[in-house]
Structure 1
């Protein structure tokens, strides 16, 4: 079995509401406000941010577009865009899970919607080549989840039939897209529940 990890919210911390509350304390006082602002800022990863995710526009252009669309000052928007790498910290429980899966003999890959500047940051900061056999960043291939093409690319790059791939992601739409291609998949909520799921599938010992 080849196990494929999403990155944001699974391997690396990504909680937009608390992230924005930390970066924009003058605008956001509660996590509820943070969630509301995040839905406008990131557009559920469509729109401007979706183009950034796919590597179709760069950081300067996404800042310009978000500022023009929302009326937020460009400098404030740029502060958020520049702060994302500090948010993307490895989740300790998932790192242990990765090491345990490798020790159990499984081959691991990643499939991540990630703008190219952040992909570069993660590649330079963390031992991705030690954790994973290979992987795909959306910003480098100009495709993104839940589109079918990036899953097709993954099947070819990972050298596996769909039924041989198990996908772990925190977005239901991405899980549905994987299942539609006959991948195995389950929704990630935290490392402990993911471990229980992997044990139930007999991919890890209890």
Structure 2
């Protein structure tokens, strides 16, 4: 029998929609005129969301939206108004993924302790918590903006572990990025790279039984 007792969810791309190229085509269509230009613009603005990216400062609560827009515009040559439009559009883009919400509700009904670990800027975290009642199924969690650090840096995993009150081997972490799962498993957590809710649910059953 597995030692796993709790499940830790990433948010963007797992619980909530996160398709930045599509977002760019919707909100700055004059810049993202097709899939190829949208992908190039995605890289220009978000820089792969690495720990060295401008956006990481926002994720970590170290910069406000206006300052982020100015920073990205200065680096990229984009109009600051276009960058600001993208930043402002993200919260509504982060729509819940219905199948994942159903999985969360099912796990909660079974008494499985649920937690979250998310790279999420402060304004977006506030929006999600105010907007979506299903987040009450989570007992606790860590947003990067509140922690002052982000994945895949190891420190935030320690903060998340502390808030669960469990041992690493008792936790299953679900994230859509393999590099984030690799860090978790290196620290003794169990991990599932999220593809879709059906695949995730099947993998979880193996971990929790």
Q: Same fold (TM over 0.5)?
A: yes
For structure 2, the 5+ residue unaligned runs are none
Question: CA 1:202 to 1:148, structure 2 compared with 1: closer, same or farther past 3 Å?
Answer: closer
Q: Which residue of 2 aligns with 1:164?
A: 170
Of the three residues 19, 32, 38, the one matched with 1:34 is 38
Shift of 1:202: 4.5
Shift of 1:128: 5.1
Of the three residues 16, 27, 35, the one matched with 2:20 is 16
Judge conservation of contact 2:60–2:144 (CA < 8 Å) in 1. Answer: yes
For structure 1, the 5+ residue unaligned runs are none
Question: CA 1:70 to 1:177, structure 2 compared with 1: closer, same or farther past 3 Å?
Answer: same
Of the three residues 138, 142, 148, the one matched with 1:136 is 142
Shift of 1:129: 4.8
TM-score by length of 1: 0.95
Match runs of 1:46-195 below 5 Å:
46=50, 47-127=53-133, 129-195=135-201
Judge conservation of contact 1:56–1:142 (CA < 8 Å) in 2. Answer: yes
**RMSD of equivalent CA atoms:** 1.2
TM-score by length of 2: 0.93
Question: What is the rounded CA distance, in whole Å, between the counterparts of 1:191 and 1:197 in structure 2?
Answer: 10
Secondary structure, aligned partner of 1:100: helix
Q: Figure out how many residues of one structure are paired with residues of the other and give that number.
A: 203
Shift of 1:109: 0.3
Shift of 1:199: 2.7
